[in-house]
Structure 1
Amino acid sequence: MSLKEAAEKFQKFCSMFKVEADCFPLLFELKWPDGFRCPRCHHPHAYRITTRRIPLYECRSCHTQTSLIAGTVMEGSRTPIHRWFQAIFLHAQPRCVNARQLSEAIHVTYKTAWLICHKLRHAMTSKESNRLLSGVVRVSDTIYCKRLTPSFDWHTQEQPLLVGASEADDGTLGPIIIKLQSKIPLKDKYDCPDTAPFIRNHVNPNDAKNAIITRRYGPTMNKKLAWMGYDVTWWIGRTFLGIGPKHLQAYLDQFCYYYNRNRSSLYIQLLTDCIHSSRITYPELTKSASRLRSTRLIRASRQPSQQLG
């Protein structure tokens, strides 16, 4: 699809959801596919209160009030719902978008766009976290952002990964899972991360003992898995211009979310998963960075001071 066709498709979508009220019917249908259910007592009937910007539904039995965005990634957001719909639509397109592009497309600040992007990834991660590989399962190590140098030492941007996949009868890869690994226990970048925790956490227990483990080099190499590191590096580089280790796992989950689904119906799938995924706040997204900075400051304070010659 050309950029012009993609722009026309997005404009057509925006014409369907011009204001928040245009989103309410679809939001209601996906949130309660079998009709309203009280989040507290599961009663099937409610009064609709329209005095708020977003309608409230009051349970006729226990009188608990809930909104359409309660319990979703949109909960607590001041961004209009139709802007969320537009963001989800753009994330479901073949080329996806980064925060800067999203900011320009839906007319919000960069900080708001960055937060929306990470909340959508949170929904994708939540959905992918329930996946277990089954059947014939293959696991291989690979490297994100691999540098073509003969050195045994890790480059700063290189990150070790483990990738697993269920293999179909015809040899094609089914669902995949990619997990970031720590460099600390590895002797060098040709050492293989421990695959036991990966298999224990991400492979069906009935199939775990028969999982096939290969390396990213050598005669037993599975090229489809070993080269997955190049695929994810290219995708992240093209879309986001590279990602550091702090948030890398979220982007790996996003890559797997796309890979494991039919792209023709991805918008509805992603919208549904966002509606049924709990929100994550800005402090929760950034607290790990504060911890990392604090750890570095503590380590630096423990090191002997250097004298300038």
Structure 2
Amino acid sequence: MSLKEAAEKFQKFCSIYKEEADCFSPLFELKWPDGFRCPHCDHRQFYLIPTRRIPLYECRACHTQTSLIAGTIMERSRTPLHRWFQAIYLHAQPRCINARQLSEAINVTYKTAWLICHKIRRAMSLRESNRLLSGIVRVSDTIYCKRLTPSFDWHQQEQPLLVGASDSNNGVLSPIVIKLQSKAPLKDKYDCPDTAPFIREHVNPADVKNTIVTRRYGRDMNKKLAWMGYDVTWWIARVFLGIGPKHLQAYLNQFCYYYNRSRSTLYIQLLADCLHSPAITYPELTKPTANGRSSRLLRSARNPSQQTG
């Protein structure tokens, strides 16, 4: 799809969701697909309180009040719902989007766009966190941001990864799981991370015996898995202009989220996952690290020239 066609599709989407009220009905249907359920007592009847910016729903049995965005990544957000819809739509497109681009596309500040991006990325990460690979499972090591040098020493930007995938009958490796590994126990960049913890965490216990581990080089190399490091490096570089190791796992989760789902229904899936992911606040995302210094996320949020993510 060309940039012009993508822009036209986005404008058409914006014409459908051009104000908050346009979002109420789809939010209700996704939040309560079988009809309203009180979060406190599970009662099905409610009173509608339409006087708020976003309507409240009061349970007729216990009188608990809830809203469409309670318990979602949008909870307590001052950003209008149609801006959230636009942001989620853009995150579901093949080209993806970074915070700087999102800021311009939906007309919000960089800080707001940055926070929206990280909240959406967190919803993706939570959705991927419980994934178990099954059937015939293939596992390989690979490298993020691999440098083509003869040195055995790790380059600062190189990061060891383990990637696992279920091998279907037609040779398609899907779904996949990619996890960042520590350099500390590795002798050099040709050493392989310990695959046992990865297998315990991400492979169905009944299929551990069907797990095949290969290296990123050698006669038995699985090229699709071994070269996954190049694929994710290229994607992160193209969209976000590179990511350091501190927050790399969140972007790996985002890559897997896209890889493991059909693009034709990705927007609806992502919107539903955002509705079923709890909110995280700006202070929680930017809280100081153990040494008392602000994290790189905080610095990038304050200074958009340092990062586009």
Q: TM-score range by the shorter chain?
A: over 0.9
CA deviations on 1:235-267 (whole Å, 9 max, x unpaired) are 000000000111110000000000000001100
CA contact (8 A) 2:29 2:35 kept: yes
What is the DSSP-based 3-state SS (H/G/I as helix, E as strand, rest coil) of the residue aligned with 1:209?
Answer: helix
Structure 2 residue 240 is matched with structure 1 residue 247: no
What is the DSSP-based 3-state SS (H/G/I as helix, E as strand, rest coil) of the residue aligned with 2:178?
Answer: strand
Structure 2 residue 270 is matched with structure 1 residue 274: no
Question: How do 1:97-108 and structure 2 match up within 5 A?
Answer: 97-108=97-108
The offset of 1:291, in angstroms, is 2.4
Alpha-carbon distance between aligned partners in 2 of 1:186 and 1:216, rounded to the nearest angstrom: 15
**Compared with structure 1, are the counterparts of its residues 209 and 112 closer, same or farther at alpha carbon in structure 2 (3 Å cutoff)?**
same
Q: Which residue of structure 1 lines up, in the alignment, with residue 289 of structure 2?
A: 290
The offset of 1:172, in angstroms, is 1.6
CA deviations on 1:151-209 (whole Å, 9 max, x unpaired) are 11111111100000000112221100000001111111111001000000000000012
Q: Which residue of structure 1 lines up, in the alignment, with residue 82 of structure 2?
A: 82
Bigger drift between 38-47 and 275-284 goes to: 275-284
Alpha-carbon distance between aligned partners in 1 of 2:160 and 2:283, rounded to the nearest angstrom: 28
The offset of 1:17, in angstroms, is 0.4
Q: Which residue of structure 2 lines up, in the alignment, with residue 307 of structure 1?
A: none
**Compared with structure 1, are the counterparts of its residues 292 and 193 closer, same or farther at alpha carbon in structure 2 (3 Å cutoff)?**
farther
Q: Which residue of structure 2 lines up, in the alignment, with residue 135 of structure 1?
A: 135
The offset of 1:210, in angstroms, is 2.4
Alpha-carbon distance between aligned partners in 2 of 1:174 and 1:33, rounded to the nearest angstrom: 28
**Which amino acid in 2 is paired with 1:19?**
E
Q: Which residue of structure 1 lines up, in the alignment, with residue 147 of structure 2?
A: 147
The offset of 1:293, in angstroms, is 5.3
Structure 2 residue 179 is matched with structure 1 residue 179: yes
Q: Which residue of structure 1 lines up, in the alignment, with residue 72 of structure 2?
A: 72
**Which amino acid in 2 is paired with 1:5?**
E
Dislocated runs of 4+, deviation >6 Å:
none
Structure 2 residue 34 is matched with structure 1 residue 34: yes
What is the percentage of aligned positions where both structures have the same residue?
Answer: 80
CA contact (8 A) 2:140 2:164 kept: yes
Q: Which residue of structure 2 lines up, in the alignment, with residue 96 of structure 1?
A: 96
Alpha-carbon distance between aligned partners in 2 of 1:170 and 1:30, rounded to the nearest angstrom: 34
Q: Which residue of structure 1 lines up, in the alignment, with residue 214 of structure 2?
A: 214
The offset of 1:105, in angstroms, is 0.2
Alpha-carbon distance between aligned partners in 2 of 1:163 and 1:183, rounded to the nearest angstrom: 16
Structure 2 residue 111 is matched with structure 1 residue 111: yes
Q: Which residue of structure 2 lines up, in the alignment, with residue 189 of structure 1?
A: 189
TM-score by length of 1: 0.94
For structure 1, which runs of at least 5 residues remain unmatched after alignment?
A: 297-309
**Which amino acid in 1 is paired with 2:103?**
S
Alpha-carbon distance between aligned partners in 2 of 1:137 and 1:285, rounded to the nearest angstrom: 34
Alpha-carbon distance between aligned partners in 2 of 1:286 and 1:195, rounded to the nearest angstrom: 31
**Which amino acid in 1 is paired with 2:176?**
I
What is the DSSP-based 3-state SS (H/G/I as helix, E as strand, rest coil) of the residue aligned with 2:210?
Answer: coil
Alpha-carbon distance between aligned partners in 1 of 2:150 and 2:184, rounded to the nearest angstrom: 20
Q: Which residue of structure 2 lines up, in the alignment, with residue 224 of structure 1?
A: 224
**Which amino acid in 2 is paired with 1:223?**
K
TM-score by length of 2: 0.94
The offset of 1:61, in angstroms, is 0.3
Alpha-carbon distance between aligned partners in 1 of 2:294 and 2:10, rounded to the nearest angstrom: 44
Q: Which residue of structure 2 lines up, in the alignment, with residue 61 of structure 1?
A: 61
Q: Which residue of structure 1 lines up, in the alignment, with residue 13 of structure 2?
A: 13
CA contact (8 A) 2:286 2:294 kept: no
The offset of 1:292, in angstroms, is 5.2
CA contact (8 A) 2:215 2:222 kept: yes
Alpha-carbon distance between aligned partners in 2 of 1:164 and 1:286, rounded to the nearest angstrom: 31
For structure 2, which runs of at least 5 residues remain unmatched after alignment?
A: 296-309
Alpha-carbon distance between aligned partners in 1 of 2:115 and 2:146, rounded to the nearest angstrom: 29
